[in-house]
Chains A and B, each alone.
Chain A
Amino acid sequence: MSQRDERSMQPSMDGLAHWLIHHAARRAPDALSSRLEEEWLADLEARSSALSRLRFALGCCWATLVIASEYPRARVAAASAAAAGRGLVTLVDRNFGYFSLRSGTLFLIAGLHAALFYGLVTTLAHTRAAPPITDLVNRSVPEVPHKKLPLPQPSAELPKWIIDVPKVVDVRQEPDRPPDVVAKAAEEPTEPNWPGTETPPQTPPHIVKHVPGGTGAGFPDTADFYPSLSRHLEEQGISVVQVCVDTNGRLTSDPTIVTGSGSMRLDEGARKLARAGSGHYRPATEDGHPVNSCYPLGIRFQLKY
């Protein structure tokens, strides 16, 4: 800045310097406010240039902050007891507990820098693209003349470990397959063949097509065995009876109640019905051949109005 420019700006810079000193002194503790203002204005006059005076005034602003943070609180409280609470509030606001204003500012700035650095590092770590993979194989592996190596022969001393992997039965692909057959297939032993217990290769297991039995033609009507007292009492329910049937559809043992209906009369009627149906059961079949089997038979007693 030339001397001419500085001379032309001098009134405004001097005014700014005075305003800064007034402002700084007002923000100082009340006990020191008037003294500092007068002292600084007097020392301001000792400065030769306007720029120097402005720099001095700016320094006074910083000095106010330092003085306010260091000035004992007790003195401020005593000094400002008769005055307005502005000085005390100002001083308290400029202190951060155990830290001075300067220390607090430094901690704040350091924390902000640390947070910014951490954010940059983590962001870059996520966004950094993987370096392009150069042709490392061609560079690092020297060319080796192709040599036909003999295949390793299996040693006779080595034990043979043969482990049969059980077949997975997909029930959904076989809708007509009865559930008990599926259960049999799933429960087949899957123990491996240990050395010395080799078994000849097995053919795929034959899956038996099992069709459960049920009631056949000529089976008695449930209404004929509805107990009269149950009709009168309007008892209704389902009795599940376990029946064992031979290949001719006859009972091989007396039917037993598996799940009661809640009424002994209905359960007894169900047993009578199951007995009366002997010879009219449809036997279970395996691969189309009738077999003896036992299965639960549900009998519903329901009144018709």
Chain B
Amino acid sequence: MGKKDTDVRMSLQTLKVLEIFLENPTEQLAGAQVHQRCGIASGTLYPILLRLESAGWFVSKWETIDPSSLGRPRRRLYRLTSTGLRRASEVFASFNRGVLA
């Protein structure tokens, strides 16, 4: 996915995802964890994650673990970029966080 900064179509689900990441901008979250926190179904969640990554708001990388020791496969982790942090903050500032209240 590219690193360019482009506009992202804002939907309520997209704002929910951004809000999860804005709670701790340095935290890396897998899709399963985002689902646990905001309850967005997988059919909607993964297109949003890919859309934000394609727009340069997110970066993703594989989890660096030993699957045999943990007994589970590695996950794909997403993190806000500096651009994504700035743009997401602007979006919520414009909405004054009233949309998600």
Contacts and interface: CB of A to CB of B under 8 A. Distances in A.
Contacts of B51: 70
Contacts of B22: none
Given A42-B72, A70-B51, 19 more contacts: A32-B50, A38-B74, A40-B42, A41-B73, A42-B32, A42-B73, A43-B30, A45-B73, A46-B33, A46-B36, A46-B75, A55-B41, A59-B42, A59-B44, A60-B42, A63-B43, A63-B46, A66-B43, A70-B50
A45 B32 CA distance: 9
Is chain B's binding surface mostly helix, strand, loop or mixed? helix
Interface residues of B, number: 21
A66 B42 contact: no
A35 B41 contact: no
Contacts of A62: 43
A67 B76 CA distance: 17
B46 A60 contact: yes
A297 interface: no
A43 B46 CA distance: 11
Contact of B31 (A32, A39, A67, A70): A39
Interface in B31-57: 31-33, 35-36, 41-47, 50-51, 54
A41 B75 CA distance: 9
Of the listed residues B36, B42, B72, B76, the one surrounded by the most CB atoms of chain A closer than 10 A to its CB is: B42
B42 A56 contact: yes
A38 B73 contact: yes
Contacts of A51: none
Contacts of A32: 50
A38 B46 CA distance: 13
Interface of A: 32, 35-36, 38-43, 45-47, 55-56, 58-63, 66-67, 70-72
Interface of B: 30-33, 35-36, 41-47, 50-51, 54, 72-76
Pairs A-B, 8 closest by C-beta atoms: A59-B42, A62-B43, A59-B43, A46-B32, A43-B32, A39-B76, A42-B73, A66-B47
6 contacts: A38-B76, A40-B31, A41-B73, A42-B74, A55-B42, A63-B43
Contacts of B43: 58-63, 66
Interface centre among B30, B33, B41 (most CB of A within 10 A): B41
B66 to A, nearest CB: 14
A66 B76 CA distance: 19
A280 to B, nearest CB: 113
A47 B46 contact: no
A34 B54 CA distance: 17
Contacts of B73: 38, 41-42, 45
Interface centre among B43, B72, B73, B75 (most CB of A within 10 A): B43
A67 B42 contact: no
